[in-house]
Amino acid sequence: MIVTTNCTVSHSLIKTAIDSFDTNNFKTILNEPTGSFFYDPWIIKPQFKNTPWEHLLNSLNQPTIGEARIIKLDIEKCYTAHADIDDRWHLALGEGLNYLVDLENKTFHTTELGLWYSMDAGILHSAVNFSDSTRYQLVVRKLLTNANIKNSINIQIRVQGVDGRYQFDQTLSPWLNRANKRNCINSFSVDDNNIVSFNTTREELNHIKKIMPTNFELTYE
């Protein structure tokens, strides 16, 4: 689920960055979009330019990146099982007994301080903090591929129900991640009314119908 990259960061730079962080924030976004959330490059926010946080992002050595967030996980906490359409890069900002959990293969993964990791977020996963201190990670989205699809159809899925997001992440998110890697979708978006929209082929539509929760609403044209 995760593999180390050849990108590294000095422990001193990480300490300088984390010392400047507002620890009351659950999630701090370091950059901003230049266009489409999932497809176009993100650039550093003015308030983080020429700071240790910009140096950390530059250490990833990628020409373009998506959203970059500092994520906080308190002691004795974990995330519900989920998958994501977009893969991620991870950088641990501290040490301790905390893990990324591959739920499909029942495997715990550590992230070593100072190493960037590449993560296949299409696998059902979680994170858990067993230590006595807060877990901080810098998580960077990988941009999606806007595939060239001939004779595509537009799919719209209304996510419904009190546990709609959980159901979506259990069923459709793993498929969307793999479909992106197979160049089978484009123009993915999510609006404020919980409507997920993307283009794909009619062949893929048949599979979507099989895996989609019955309480979701599907339209296509």
Whether pLDDT at 31 is above 80: yes
**Tokens 């048949």, located at residue:** 206
Pull the structure tokens for residue 203: 């062949």
- Classify 71 as helix, strand or coil: strand
Whether pLDDT at 26 is above 80: no
Whether pLDDT at 27 is above 90: no
- Give strand pairing partners of 49: none
Q: For domain 2-141, is the CATH number 2.60.120.330?
A: yes
Which of 45, 50, 39, 66 lies closest to 139 in space, CA to CA?
Answer: 66
CA distance 115 to 219: 43
Please name the fold of domain 153-220: Alpha-Beta Plaits (3.30.70)
Average pLDDT score over residue span 84-96: 96
Instruction: Determine how β-strand 135-141 pairs with β-strand 153-158.
Output: unpaired
183-210 tens-digit pLDDT: 999 999 999 999 999 999 999 999 999 9
Say which amino acid occupies 29. Answer: I
Whether pLDDT at 167 is above 70: yes
Cα torsion 164, 170, 176, 179: sign: negative
101-153 tens-digit pLDDT: 999 999 999 999 999 999 999 999 999 999 999 999 999 999 999 999 998 99
**Tokens 């059902």, located at residue:** 124
Whether pLDDT at 173 is above 90: yes
Average pLDDT score over residue span 87-108: 96
Domain ranges in the chain are 2-141, 153-220
Q: What is the pLDDT of residue 22?
A: 78
What percentage of the chain exceeds 70 in pLDDT?
Answer: 99
**Could you tell me where the DSSP H helices lie in the chain?**
11-19, 52-58, 164-181, 202-211
Cβ neighbours for 125, distance < 8 A, ≥ 6 positions apart: 1, 81, 82, 83, 100, 101, 102, 103, 104
Pull the structure tokens for residue 101: 């959990």
**Tokens 């893969």, located at residue:** 87
